[in-house]
Chain A
């Protein structure tokens, strides 16, 4: 019971945040919406017995990524909002497509047998740790390399060209 209520709350919060992102009048409000979205999702993860992932979500997403967005927003200092968008085809086609997508997924979800089961037991962190360093070792290392490359790329890209 509690679970359902919590799910409903955080779910709605996530959706609200999402809507705020796309409807925000200026960028900073969109960033705020994003933050709400991420945090709600983090809470949902806890609900789903993935505390470690939830923690990572908070630290990385809500903590680092949103902050970075805010940094960039400040760097770029967008003042004026977007002008009038006259590309109607694009907009309505986009919305229609998204609706179609949801409909399709819903159809699929209702059709198929969605798994149902009790909450798994055991120490989540330990299980994750073991899996990470045995079965998922290669992806782990690759992720490390990827992060390294990312760092270098960013430094190169964002440097001001010395004329």
Chain B
């Protein structure tokens, strides 16, 4: 029988994979995609609990998270484009002006 535990585990694994992606990859766009993945993993967990607890709050939260995530992606990509114009690289290691 499926319980929320299974979904929870899946969500955890997806979150971890996303985390690894953020830490390991150097391409900014891929990093960003991984961040989106992490958000989605959390969404999954929320929906699962919403279903198993018979409450609508989970889904509401997910809707709001999606709205925020959409905005965030949009703005983030705009920033990326602006950054790229400054320095034509997508390697995040080269954006180290904060060093020191």
User: Using a CB–CB distance below 8 Å, which chain A residues touch chain B?
Assistant: 3-4, 7, 11, 14-15, 18-19, 21-22, 24, 27, 30-31, 34, 37-38, 41, 44-45, 48-50, 52-53, 56-57, 60-61, 64-65, 68-69, 72-73, 75-76, 78, 82-83, 85, 87, 90-91, 93-95, 97-99, 101-102, 105-106, 109-110, 114-117, 119-120, 124, 127-128, 131-132, 135-136, 139-140, 143, 146-147, 149-151, 153-154, 157-158, 160
15 example contacts (A-B, Cβ-Cβ < 8 A) are as follows A7-B7, A22-B21, A22-B25, A24-B30, A41-B40, A41-B44, A48-B47, A64-B70, A65-B36, A69-B73, A87-B93, A97-B19, A102-B16, A114-B8, A132-B63
The digit string for B1-40, where 1 denotes a CB below 8 A from any CB of A, is 1111111111011111111110111110110111011001
Closest B residue, CB atoms, query A78: B90
How big is chain B's contact interface, by range? 35 or more
Which of the residues A76, A132, A135 comes within 8 Å of B84, measured between beta carbons?
A76
Output the least CB separation between A151 and chain B (Å). 8
User: Using a CB–CB distance below 8 Å, which chain B residues touch chain A?
Assistant: 1-10, 12-21, 23-27, 29-30, 32-34, 36-37, 40, 43-44, 47-54, 56, 59-60, 62-64, 66-75, 77-82, 84-85, 90-91, 93
The reply to whether B63 and A115 contact each other, CB–CB distance below 8 Å, is no
